[in-house]
Amino acid sequence: MPQSAEKILDHAPLFREPEYRQMLAEKKLNFECPHQDQVVTDQREFTETWEYREKNFAREALVINPAKACQPLGAVFAATGFERTMPFVHGSQGCVAYYRSHLSRHFKEPASAVSSSMTEDAAVFGGLKNMVDGLANTYQLYDPKMIAVSTTCMAEVIGDDLHSFIENAKEEGSVPRDFDVPFAHTPAFVGSHIDGYDGTVKGILEHFWKGQERTEAPGTINIIPGFDGFCVGNNRELKRLLDLMGVSYTFIQDASDQFDTPSDGEYRMYDGGTKIQDVRNALNAEATLSLQHYNTRKTLEYCEEVGQATASFHYPLGVQATDEFLVEVSAISGKEIPEAIRLERGRLVDAMADSQSWLHGKKYALYGDPDFVHAMARFIMETGGEPTHCLATNGTKAWEDQMKELLASSPFGKEAQVWAGKDLWAMRSLLFTEPVDLLIGNSYGKYLERDTGTPLIRLMFPIFDRHHHHRFALMGYQGGLRVLTTILDKIFDKLDRETSETGVTDYSYDLTR
């Protein structure tokens, strides 16, 4: 049926109209050269078997739907966490459009970033002219306090040298000689977004700290949150806890305000972020703590080189992980953990005990960044659940060994399996051959949910098909309560669907769970 002003259909119901169904059927028949339905059914059933799983896991030269993104995305996100900083990607416009759209679709906020707009001629002759013009335009048009430069595949393949290019651009007057233009080489064909984040944060700290004299301020702490799609809720929750303790701290790379700007009639291209002066002063901190170890390995090495004590965590979520973080902060700062925080811990423990009968023995499949999977597996075991499949496409052998050690520490983890470097097509085989009760990851898991029937809980970047999850904390005791509630809601929703028919599937007329 044609659209009309009186009845506007969204695309989903529109394509269910008879004429569209006929159009799509004819397209499939005439242009897609489909196999017979039985052939498709047979092949699908084969892909659900253990035999296919072995073939699937033997893949070496092909990756299907990896649970990671590329380095420059992490670099762009990292840059947004500093005061009036414009991310500048030395590469093509199309690449930058991907980073911006990925961030804006998750946070439902504008994600500003610029490109040096490299095209075929730059790929042959180098991108120096693009850098000179691009920095000049960025400085004049967007009035930043800092421009943070990263690279894409094109710039890395041809070997463009960011340091010399930026120096040449300053010589030609693109930006003032003393204007801050830190940089990081972030080749998209190796590593992942967490490596791009790490390189960019390190590059910014090195830009401000290199050659400066350090005067240690005892008890002061730098906090690096890592690449975190829930930074809006998490950073604010952690600041609340640190403020309750009276700790002197600096959040290095704080994107919580940048991706949560208010609608009050004023457009903010930049909002919040770690102040440039605070970044300079952060050299004098006694210690730098990372909330995500695998996001910040190079950065922490650099912090150690300048004389700071360092420690790292794996996304402090749940009881024990939050305990460890707060105890470390207390030891460095000399500040006691107040009674108010102790009570929050007790309330989380009480909530977990209240729901124990529904959580005990539930089996989970987890995927995402290495620190997140570590944190979720640990929290699940605290609830009496079993993290049966733990997968991180950007996980390393060191992460795999660390995960196995964690899982072996609890009877709920002894049967768990750890998969570093595997993708979501491998996860599909796991879900068919060794089914679980719940799947935890990002929006890309919805296709696994449809295919395997495993209910998906969205707790990992990116989340495109739900709104505002990132505004609520996952870290800390309050964040643990949020995660606990989210898991329970999914369990109860599934139970309600399975007992919806009175006298057929529901004999007890349950109202209370």
Report d(CA 195, CA 298) in Å as an integer.
9
Closest residue by Cα to residue 438 from 401, 477, 371, 492:
492
Report d(CA 493, CA 485) in Å as an integer.
12
Q: What is the CA radius of gyration of the chain?
A: 25
Q: Are 118 and 155 in contact (CB under 8 A)?
A: yes
Report d(CA 291, CA 312) in Å as an integer.
6
Q: Are 230 and 112 in contact (CB under 8 A)?
A: no
Reduce the DSSP state of residue 248 to 3 states and report it: strand
Going by the DSSP 8-state scheme, the letter that residue 9 receives in this structure is P
Report d(CA 184, CA 88) in Å as an integer.
11
Enter the tokens of residue 20.
Answer: 């569209």
Among all chains, which residue has been given the structure tokens 């052939």?
A: 39
Enter the tokens of residue 451.
Answer: 């295919």
Residue type, 352: M
How far CA 179 is from CA of 208, 252, 388, in Å, comes to 12, 20, 51
Q: Positive or negative CA dihedral for 215, 206, 141, 107?
A: negative
Q: Please, what is the Cα angle at 421 between 416 and 422, to 5 degrees?
A: 70
> Up-side HSE of residue 125: CA atoms within 13 Å toward CB?
8
Report d(CA 11, CA 294) in Å as an integer.
41
Neighbours of 382 (CB within 10 A): 21
Catalytic residue among 39, 40, 157, 190: 157
Report d(CA 510, CA 506) in Å as an integer.
8
Strands (E) located in 110-246: 114-115, 146-151, 217-224
Enter the tokens of residue 288.
Answer: 């730098």
- Catalytic status, residue 153: yes
Report d(CA 185, CA 196) in Å as an integer.
8
Going by the DSSP 8-state scheme, the letter that residue 246 receives in this structure is T
Among all chains, which residue has been given the structure tokens 């990002």?
A: 442
- Catalytic status, residue 157: yes
Catalytic residue among 70, 76, 153, 232: 153
* Residues with catalytic roles: 153, 157
